[in-house]
Structure 1
């Protein structure tokens, strides 16, 4: 199926004769279902593009290194819940084979390349979650909705209910199945691969391309032998290869056309297109053409808020819905991913963030020490600072009353 045809089919409402018909029906040739039937852009082929590989590497690393924790809102306070069974799964040990970094990185790579990431939740005898096991999306053969719940048909696992799995989705048109960025960018990525292949072929040929053999004489016999001889000479891998032409024959190469030269020049433009496909700042995939010392800091902040934050929110909500009971959610339990960790490598930005937080009074110095994994300092560090030129209405009224009182007392003394 052509890309245009797939788009047309995807945007055409699909009729399902039964409530448990697979949502893969009619879409398997369009998005990466993992069953090998799709034709738009195999993700492994897309990964041969360094910009695609680096974009996926950058985003998956950022998602993986963010610490997630179980917390509970109690009144106006937030309390960490390290003893909750889910805390172990999301903070340091999701299963016996992976750390949380590797688990989330693997899930993120699947999300970015396949549009979906899946993990089976294993429970103990009393219903507490004890493991989350990654499932290769290629094993998913169908997704159905039955009795108001998603049902996954998975090779080797049988039928899994949505409540039994973590399912992260990328861009989705129906809220059931995600579609990978690679799929929608298939045409542009296909062009990039063609440019890459074209450039590699020319490099391998040492610049020798198609050409013709010219002669002042009319050649009636032996043309095949001449062609075979030239091909043999130019196909040798020896860099000193030489072709000898008899009887005044001349080799004339067919030079590169302006159109072909323009194709090669599109390689730089392709990096920007890939950045758009993955919604990542170009400098994050090592393209500094439009980056300067003045704007790269802002681009880094944009990367956190526009690229990484949506993934974190998605993961937080999926963790909470699947790992907490309904009662726990009602009692204020939630999962939080600490985005501040992305500032660790940037000492200047981290220092400015902490300074503003302390001086504005919405964090105290003890909390900042804890964020830096330092031991607690003296007790007075628990106090919140207030800018001397900033007062609440209550403080202003109190200051006015004190001033009036002092003035009155002074007059009385005189």
Structure 2
């Protein structure tokens, strides 16, 4: 089904769906997924980064995704066993390719995901069919994504043959069809265009030191030399020297046309633009350095919300794409999965982390040895493998045993 058909179906429920599954998912709409206009300013994923709030939002989210440790694990019954020797472990935890660390690779992918709505990487295999590396592909090089004979194909510049869906990692953001993502820049183009125009207007007003427009007044009638007078004043005010001085002859007086309240309101919309950008990227305003609505009491809760509402969905998306593309069907049915340890984002709060581990240990949920492992500490004595039981709580079997011991005089 073509993308055009997808939009028709979405907004016109009465239209009959096409019976064929062949067609393009980009077609003539490739630009729709990465470009947009706002006012007189052309907006795309590159120009949007000139807005500090957009740059910081992308930087914050991509860093959070990049610094989360990923690992290959297997669920066996109720146990989860680490699989460090699996070939995919090298790609998700150590080095995805010879040019990048896992941090740089995931950050680069995340930047593309946030700005373009899509992030693509080619999976390379050895002769045994094991994944050995993943190479980032710039989304600009994707010419088409289509279905042919039931196969999803990626036509990418630089590759002589189309890539199969099984040969690529494709992270998708907001999507209308589940095949191609749509970037926040597309939907935020109008607001971002206003933000850039406001930013440019403010910078121009600042550069002019408040001297923008004005008129020359005099009680005399000037019949000759008006162009020379105007040119002289323009030249004086155009100098970059902050101590610039304009000398007016013949009783001339400069009267500024001051900035209007409406123009001041335009400058004030910069704060509103930051809030709008935060909404488009689903990030708390305080994370992009907007603290108007933040206090010491709510910033901690907002940080937790950032992890659960902004980062967790993206990590789940990445985990599932890794598992789908790096494991065989047999491995998936055997319980293999990729886990991104999101607890890493909370490590900076040492007090909260320590209190949580203590509660787990004292409640018998984890052993003291496992508590040390959570802090990347070496194993201690074997006695730390024993689980603690609170003295003021008993299981049903312990209560039953105590009653028997009492009857027996113990």
Same fold (TM > 0.5): yes
CA contact (8 A) 1:150 1:161 kept: yes
What's 2:3 paired with?
A: none
Give the CA deviation at 1:32.
1.1
Give the CA deviation at 1:50.
1.5
What's 1:3 paired with?
A: none
Give the CA deviation at 1:11.
5.9
The gaps in structure 2 that reach 5 residues or longer are: 1-6
Give the CA deviation at 1:302.
1.0
TM-score of the superposition, structure 2-length normalised? 0.90
Give the CA deviation at 1:356.
2.0
Q: In structure 2, which of residues 176, 188, 193 is the aligned counterpart of residue 185 of structure 1?
A: 188
CA contact (8 A) 1:24 1:33 kept: no
Aligned partners of 2:301 and 2:390: how far apart in 1? 27
Give the CA deviation at 1:219.
4.1
The 3 A distance-change label for structure 1 pair 287 and 389 is farther
CA contact (8 A) 1:192 1:267 kept: yes
Q: In structure 2, which of residues 101, 106, 109 is the aligned counterpart of residue 107 of structure 1?
A: 109
Aligned partners of 2:364 and 2:35: how far apart in 1? 50
Aligned partners of 1:397 and 1:24: how far apart in 2? 68
Q: In structure 2, which of residues 118, 133, 136 is the aligned counterpart of residue 134 of structure 1?
A: 136
What's 1:47 paired with?
A: 49
Is 2:76 the counterpart of 1:74?
Answer: yes
What's 1:4 paired with?
A: none
How many residues align? The count is: 396
SS of residue matched to 1:178:
coil
The 3 A distance-change label for structure 1 pair 272 and 388 is farther
The 3 A distance-change label for structure 1 pair 245 and 317 is same
Aligned partners of 1:262 and 1:202: how far apart in 2? 14
Please give the per-residue CA displacement for 1:259-283, whole angstroms capped at 9, x wherever unaligned: 1111212222322222221111222
Aligned partners of 2:35 and 2:150: how far apart in 1? 22
What's 2:275 paired with?
A: 272
Aligned partners of 1:179 and 1:399: how far apart in 2? 64
CA contact (8 A) 1:40 1:183 kept: no
SS of residue matched to 1:30:
helix
Aligned partners of 2:24 and 2:227: how far apart in 1? 57
Q: In structure 2, which of residues 166, 172, 175 is the aligned counterpart of residue 172 of structure 1?
A: 175
What's 2:243 paired with?
A: 240
Measured on the aligned residues, the alpha-carbon RMSD in Å equals 2.4
Q: In structure 1, which of residues 224, 230, 237 is the aligned counterpart of residue 233 of structure 2?
A: 230
What's 1:329 paired with?
A: 332
What's 1:59 paired with?
A: 61
Give the CA deviation at 1:216.
2.7
Q: In structure 2, which of residues 49, 68, 89 is the aligned counterpart of residue 87 of structure 1?
A: 89
SS of residue matched to 1:212:
strand
Q: In structure 1, which of residues 300, 304, 307 is the aligned counterpart of residue 307 of structure 2?
A: 304
What's 1:157 paired with?
A: 159
Please give the per-residue CA displacement for 1:92-146, whole angstroms capped at 9, x wherever unaligned: 0110001111110110011011110000000011110001000011111111123
| Worse-superposed segment, 10-19 or 83-92 | 10-19
Q: In structure 2, which of residues 143, 146, 149 is the aligned counterpart of residue 144 of structure 1?
A: 146
Aligned partners of 1:221 and 1:21: how far apart in 2? 72
The 3 A distance-change label for structure 1 pair 316 and 226 is same
The 3 A distance-change label for structure 1 pair 204 and 33 is closer
Give the CA deviation at 1:295.
1.7
CA contact (8 A) 2:23 2:147 kept: yes
CA contact (8 A) 1:116 1:167 kept: yes
Give the CA deviation at 1:358.
1.4
| Worse-superposed segment, 376-385 or 234-243 | 234-243
Aligned partners of 2:18 and 2:256: how far apart in 1? 59
Please give the per-residue CA displacement for 1:230-284, whole angstroms capped at 9, x wherever unaligned: 2222112122322233332222111111111112122223222222211112222
Aligned partners of 2:281 and 2:405: how far apart in 1? 60
Give the CA deviation at 1:400.
4.3
Aligned partners of 1:314 and 1:330: how far apart in 2? 19
| Worse-superposed segment, 13-22 or 192-201 | 13-22
The 3 A distance-change label for structure 1 pair 57 and 170 is same
The gaps in structure 1 that reach 5 residues or longer are: 1-7
Q: How does 1:229-378 map to 2 (within 5 A)?
A: 229-378=232-381
TM-score of the superposition, structure 1-length normalised? 0.89
SS of residue matched to 2:177:
coil
| Worse-superposed segment, 151-160 or 221-230 | 221-230
